[in-house]
């Protein structure tokens, strides 16, 4: 979306997220029949750029690949082709092409800009920042690079700098809809929702068929509470492009906030289908390649579990054996460090790995899912006795809710996020959403109105941890100290207490220290050095809440908290599983 704009001196084109066809020997015949019996280098370049400028990235990609296959080199072709490969998730290949383009022409600003976007997608944020600064250094009036730098700075949490960078892009190119959209995103993060709304509306005014503008405006309107208008814009986006994942995902949350739960589930499931389904339009995306030894071991154990429970025994037993063979062939750098699957191994499991191939139903219960015997007044009073807000509840879910949810989390192949610490994550837009988990969130809000104060549910995720430290002398640790971008946090556990080998740990550590209101998201969520300095400076008390089956911890989400050390029994069903629900937004 951010690859077209600015006063560039060389040909640059917009790229689109499209499936790229597999290379085959028909390329040459197709291309030569279209333009000449023996196309010249320049004829191929012209046709490729023409297709790209028309928005036909698939055809452009054929010409780009054919051009490279002929042994030709051109920095524009390499840069543009790399940009297409980025959009379909072939990030490593894209990076190689961009590095070659820069090697051929080091002062080509567009290539540095495109390289910055690729590095950003690879998670190499500091390198990406250097590339975008280089693009601006080479071409100070490059509006696109200023806007992209602003986007990157936003991801890094430097919101003030991000705003300045994007406003510079708008100053250089006032009719640049992407920049107005990006400004809307930054202003939303800062909390200036009315200004953010104006920026998103300006983007749509400049381009009435601009999906990212509709998505951004829909998100802002959701935050403001204009749910019907948000829904209309998101439906308009889906009408423009039915395969836009983000539109389906945000619409699901809007509908959830309107209590249209069944319709909300429809869009959550569509999001998961687009992202993780068998027919995903981005089969070469990095999300289907990233793996770790801990992750593949989890998948092997899950397949064996499914087979043992009678689910497609032959299929899952065969998959477990295939994954074991692949695991034995990979030279793992460590148990937990993520790497990419090789082309060979991806060809063997690419249509299965990190995809939603099995899903257990978790329907809404006719009876209450949250235990109806809880003493609401006692729990609410205990929450407010704490200086900042903290309590915990035992026997949180009803037995039937706990059993159903546990069955869903053990059997559903939704654990796609590969974490450096060895644990795996599941999210609402990738298969975690189900009627029961939504019922639990709604009942919490309704049962404890003093605590939740009408805050809507804004996020739910689940993490599943390895059973026990392997080849290490100390117990495993989960998530480091952080705060969340919410008002109230609910964290609950469902693994049987017998799996926990240390009844005094394995749960959650909550510090009596709030993240300073002027800290940005990156600071209070990931900057460990800054967080530890703040914890040391404040000398706040620490509340250690040990693990217990069906225990829920409810606390002010702005409090720093982290996973306690844990050691659970070996075995798939003994893996520690926690679910986090975030309600409302952090006060600025």
CATH number, domain with residue 483:
2.60.120.620
What is the structure's pLDDT at 76? Answer: 87
Sign of the CA dihedral with 274 first, then 234, 119, and 138 last: positive
Size (the chain), residues: 588
Interatomic CA distance for residues 449 and 478, integer angstroms:
31
- Identify any residues that bridge with 580 across adjacent strands, giving them in sequence order: 461, 491
Which residue, of 117, 142, 174, is where some domain finishes?
Answer: 174
- Residues in Cβ contact with 378 at an 8 Å cutoff, skipping those fewer than 6 apart: none
Same domain, 336 and 381: no
What is the CA angle 129-85-142, rounded to 5?
A: 40
The 3-state secondary structure of 171-196 reads: HHCCCCHHHHHHHHHHHHHHCCHHHH
Question: Is residue 455 included in any domain, yes or no?
Answer: yes
Same domain, 453 and 525: yes
Question: Is residue 75 included in any domain, yes or no?
Answer: yes
Q: Which of 417, 301, 331, 284 is nearest to 18 (CA)?
A: 284
Interatomic CA distance for residues 26 and 5, integer angstroms:
34
Q: Are strands 390-393 and 417-418 parallel, antiparallel or unpaired?
A: unpaired
What is the structure's pLDDT at 27? Answer: 41
pTM (2 d.p.): 0.86
Give counts: helices (H), strands (E), the chain: 24, 12
Tens-level pLDDT at each residue, the chain (588 residues):
333 333 333 444 433 233 333 333 444 444 544 545 567 778 777 877 787 777 777 787 888 888 888 888 888 888 888 888 887 778 888 999 999 999 999 999 999 999 999 999 888 999 999 999 999 999 999 999 999 999 999 998 899 999 999 999 999 999 999 999 999 999 999 889 999 999 999 999 999 988 999 999 999 999 999 999 999 999 999 998 999 999 999 999 999 999 999 999 999 999 999 999 987 777 778 899 999 999 999 999 999 999 999 999 999 999 999 999 999 999 999 999 999 999 899 999 989 999 999 999 999 999 999 999 999 999 999 999 999 999 999 999 999 999 999 999 999 999 999 998 889 999 999 999 999 999 999 999 999 999 999 999 999 999 999 875 444 444 556 789 999 989 999 999 999 999 999 999 999 999 999 998 888 777 788 888 888 988 888 877 899 999 999 999 999 999 999 999 899 999 999 999 999 999 998 876
In 3-state terms, what secondary structure has residue 457?
strand
Contact status, residue 550 vs residue 452, Cβ threshold 8 Å: no
Question: Is residue 435 included in any domain, yes or no?
Answer: yes
Please provide the DSSP assignment of 114-140 as one string: HHHHHHHHTT-HHHHHHHHHHHHHH-T
Same domain, 92 and 38: yes
- Residues in Cβ contact with 362 at an 8 Å cutoff, skipping those fewer than 6 apart: 404, 405, 407, 408, 434, 435, 436, 437
Q: Are strands 417-418 and 559-563 parallel, antiparallel or unpaired?
A: unpaired
Residue with the two structure tokens 């600064």 = 133
Q: What angle, rounded to 10 degrees, do the helices at 399-411 and 293-308 form?
A: 120
Question: Is residue 103 included in any domain, yes or no?
Answer: yes
What is the structure's pLDDT at 1? Answer: 36
Host domain of residue 103: 1-174
- Identify any residues that bridge with 9 across adjacent strands, giving them in sequence order: none
Same domain, 45 and 116: yes
Same domain, 491 and 570: yes
Same domain, 427 and 571: yes
Helical ranges in 70-124 per DSSP H: 75-87, 91-104, 109-121
- Residue 499: exposed, middle, or buried by beta-carbon count in 10 A (0-12, 13-18, 19+)? buried
Same domain, 329 and 440: no
Same domain, 473 and 571: yes
Interatomic CA distance for residues 200 and 177, integer angstroms:
9
Which residue, of 174, 201, 233, is where some domain finishes?
Answer: 174
Same domain, 342 and 382: no
| CATH code of residue 32 | 1.25.40.10
The conformation of residue 429, written as its DSSP 8-state character, comes to: G
Interatomic CA distance for residues 577 and 339, integer angstroms:
24
In 3-state terms, what secondary structure has residue 158?
coil
Question: Is residue 261 included in any domain, yes or no?
Answer: no
What is the structure's pLDDT at 463? Answer: 97
Same domain, 342 and 385: no
Which residue, of 145, 174, 203, is where some domain finishes?
Answer: 174
Same domain, 27 and 143: yes
State phi, psi for 382 to the nearest 5 degrees.
-65, -40
Question: Is residue 211 included in any domain, yes or no?
Answer: no
What is the structure's pLDDT at 62? Answer: 83
What is the structure's pLDDT at 19? Answer: 32
- Identify any residues that bridge with 425 across adjacent strands, giving them in sequence order: 417, 463
What is the structure's pLDDT at 8? Answer: 38
Question: Is residue 302 included in any domain, yes or no?
Answer: yes
Question: Is residue 249 included in any domain, yes or no?
Answer: no
511: left (phi over 0), alpha (psi -120 to 50) or beta: beta
**30, 115, 448 from 78: Cα distances, Å:** 21, 11, 58
Residue with the two structure tokens 């993780």 = 276
Same domain, 394 and 301: no
Number of separate domains in the chain: 3
């Amino acid at each position: 979306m951010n690859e077209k704009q600015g006063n560039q001196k060389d040909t640059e084109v917009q790229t689109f997220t499209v499936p790229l066809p597999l290379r085959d020997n028909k390329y040459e015949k197709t291309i030569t029949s279209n333009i000449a019996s023996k196309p010249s280098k320049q004829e191929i370049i012209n046709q490729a750029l023409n297709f790209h400028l028309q928005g036909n990235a698939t055809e452009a990609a054929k010409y780009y690949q054919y051009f490279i296959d002929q042994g030709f080199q051109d920095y524009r072709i390499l840069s543009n082709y790399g940009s297409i490969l980025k959009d379909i998730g072939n990030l490593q290949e894209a990076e190689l092409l961009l590095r070659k383009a820069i090697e051929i022409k080091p002062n080509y600003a567009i290539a540095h800009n495109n390289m910055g976007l690729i590095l950003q997608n690879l998670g190499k944020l500091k390198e990406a920042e250097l590339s975008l600064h280089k693009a601006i250094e080479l071409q100070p009036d490059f509006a696109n690079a200023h806007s992209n730098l602003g986007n990157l700075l936003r991801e890094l949490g430097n919101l003030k700098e991000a705003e300045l960078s994007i406003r510079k892009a708008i100053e250089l190119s006032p009719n640049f809809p992407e920049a107005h959209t990006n400004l809307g995103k930054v202003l939303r993060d800062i909390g200036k929702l009315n200004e953010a709304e104006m920026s998103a509306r300006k983007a749509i005014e400049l381009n009435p068929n601009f999906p990212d503008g509709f998505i951004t405006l829909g998100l802002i309107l959701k935050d403001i509470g204009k749910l019907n208008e948000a829904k209309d814009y998101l439906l308009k986006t889906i009408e423009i492009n039915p395969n836009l994942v983000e539109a389906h995902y945000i619409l699901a949350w809007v509908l959830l906030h309107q209590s249209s739960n069944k319709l909300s589930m429809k869009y959550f499931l569509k999001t998961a289908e687009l992202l993780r389904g068998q027919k995903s339009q981005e089969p070469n995306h990095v999300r289907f390649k990233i793996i770790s030894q801990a992750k593949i071991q989890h998948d092997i154990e899950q397949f064996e579990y499914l087979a043992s429970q009678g689910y497609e025994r032959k299929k899952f037993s065969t998959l477990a054996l295939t994954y074991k063979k692949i695991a034995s062939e990979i030279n793992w750098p460590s148990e937990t460090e993520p790497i990419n699957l090789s082309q060979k191994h991806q060809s063997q499991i690419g249509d299965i790995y990190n995809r939603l191939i099995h899903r257990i139903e978790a329907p809404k219960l006719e009876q209450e899912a949250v235990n109806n015997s809880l003493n609401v007044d006692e729990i609410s009073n205990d929450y407010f006795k704490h200086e900042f807000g903290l309590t915990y509840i035992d026997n949180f879910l009803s037995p039937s809710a706990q059993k159903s949810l546990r069955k869903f989390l053990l059997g559903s192949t939704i654990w796609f996020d590969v974490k450096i610490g060895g644990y795996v994550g599941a999210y609402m837009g990738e298969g975690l959403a189900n009627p029961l988990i939504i019922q639990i969130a709604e009942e919490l809000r309704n049962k404890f109105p003093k605590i939740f104060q009408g805050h809507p549910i804004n996020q739910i995720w689940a993490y599943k941890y390895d059973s026990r430290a392997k080849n290490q002398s100390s117990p495993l640790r989960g998530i480091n100290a952080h705060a969340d971008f919410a008002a109230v946090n609910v964290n609950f556990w469902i693994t049987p207490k017998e799996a926990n080998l240390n009844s005094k740990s394995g749960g959650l550590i909550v510090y009596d220290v709030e993240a300073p209101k002027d800290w940005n998201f990156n600071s209070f969520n990931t900057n460990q050095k800054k967080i530890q300095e703040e914890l040391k400076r404040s000398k706040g008390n620490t509340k250690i809440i040990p693990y217990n089956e069906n225990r829920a911890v409810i606390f002010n989400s702005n409090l720093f908290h982290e996973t306690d050390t844990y050691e659970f029994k070996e075995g798939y069903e003994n893996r520690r599983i926690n679910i986090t629900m975030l309600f409302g937004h952090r006060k600025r």
